[in-house]
């Protein structure tokens, strides 16, 4: 009995130090449930309380991210019915303006949509102050696609359930026919592969990074 108690005491620190694993879109959301919601003529949800992410992704962060995207007049990616490939980078910095950059590739045309709001990434979205778009060249699309491959985006895990007080959240979504993925990194290192893909979008968009 004493031996068993001794083993249990030894195991307590190991259990306490274990980090909460990231949710995996590939594993947890294998059979994505499509939620019914109304959209306007541009594909943006009408309901301000809409969930922008699959219903199976049960995380306290989802309503906050959805609130940011709704304020930016962004469409829901995972429920897209169109034959296209799309990526969206949501950049939330604690005390700086929220940024969303979305790529839409339909056949040979690639359009970049750029949104910036007046709020703070760790608090509230504020109102939309920048809403712009530009057509990308085939070279720019290929360079971004290569960065997506290098970070193995389509196999990356989703949201990290660890709570942090401040910093930068780098959230990338991707949609292509019969596939969707989402991943989030807090304060990525300068050499992080996903960060490089996101920074490429920032450079092409011309959004100030300071």
CB atoms within 10 A of CB 47: 10
pLDDT of residue 191: 96
C-beta separation of 159 from 64 below 8 A: no
* Triad 203, 140, 150: Cα angle to 5°: 85
The torsion angles phi and psi of 47, rounded to 5 degrees, stand at -80, 120
- What does the pLDDT look like over 119-172, one tens digit per residue? 999 999 999 999 999 999 999 999 999 999 999 999 998 776 666 777 899 999
> Count of alpha carbons within 13 Å of 10, Cβ hemisphere only?
6
Quote helix, strand, coil % in the chain, to nearest 5: 30, 25, 45
Strands 179-186 and 168-176, sheet pairing: antiparallel
Find the DSSP H helices in the chain. Answer: 2-17, 25-28, 61-71, 138-150, 193-205
Calpha distance 137→113 (Å, rounded) = 14
Give 83's contacts (C-beta < 8 A, 6+ positions apart): 106, 177
Q: Does pLDDT of 116 surpass 60?
A: yes
Share of the chain above pLDDT 90, in %: 54
Q: Does pLDDT of 42 surpass 80?
A: no
Q: pTM value?
A: 0.82
Calpha distance 146→151 (Å, rounded) = 9
Average pLDDT score over residue span 90-117: 96
- What does the pLDDT look like over 48-91, one tens digit per residue? 888 888 756 657 788 899 999 999 999 998 877 678 899 999 99
Reading across the β-sheet that carries 99-106, which strands appear in turn? 128-136, 109-117, 99-106, 85-93, 168-176, 179-186
pLDDT of residue 57: 64
Calpha distance 101→145 (Å, rounded) = 15
pLDDT of residue 162: 65
C-beta separation of 174 from 80 below 8 A: no
Q: Does pLDDT of 110 surpass 70?
A: yes
């Amino acid at each position: 009995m004493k031996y068993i108690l001794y083993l249990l005491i030894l195991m307590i620190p190991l259990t306490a130090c274990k980090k909460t694993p990231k949710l995996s879109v590939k594993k947890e959301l294998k059979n994505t449930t499509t939620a019914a919601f109304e959209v306007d003529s541009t594909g943006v949800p009408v309901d301000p309380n809409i969930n922008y992410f699959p219903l199976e992704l049960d995380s306290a962060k989802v309503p906050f991210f959805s609130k940011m995207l709704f304020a930016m007049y962004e469409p829901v990616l995972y429920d897209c019915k169109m034959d296209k490939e799309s990526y969206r980078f949501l950049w939330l910095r604690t005390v700086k303006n929220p940024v969303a950059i979305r790529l839409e590739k339909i056949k040979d045309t690639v359009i970049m949509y750029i949104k910036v709001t007046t709020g703070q990434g760790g608090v509230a979205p504020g109102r939309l102050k920048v809403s712009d778009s530009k057509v990308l060249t085939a070279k720019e699309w290929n360079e971004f696609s290569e960065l997506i491959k290098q970070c193995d985006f389509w196999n990356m895990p989703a949201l990290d359930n660890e709570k942090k007080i401040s910093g930068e959240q780098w959230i990338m979504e991707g949609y292509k026919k019969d596939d969707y993925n989402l991943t989030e990194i807090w304060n990525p290192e300068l050499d992080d592969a996903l960060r490089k893909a996101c920074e490429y979008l920032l450079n092409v968009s011309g959004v100030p990074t300071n």
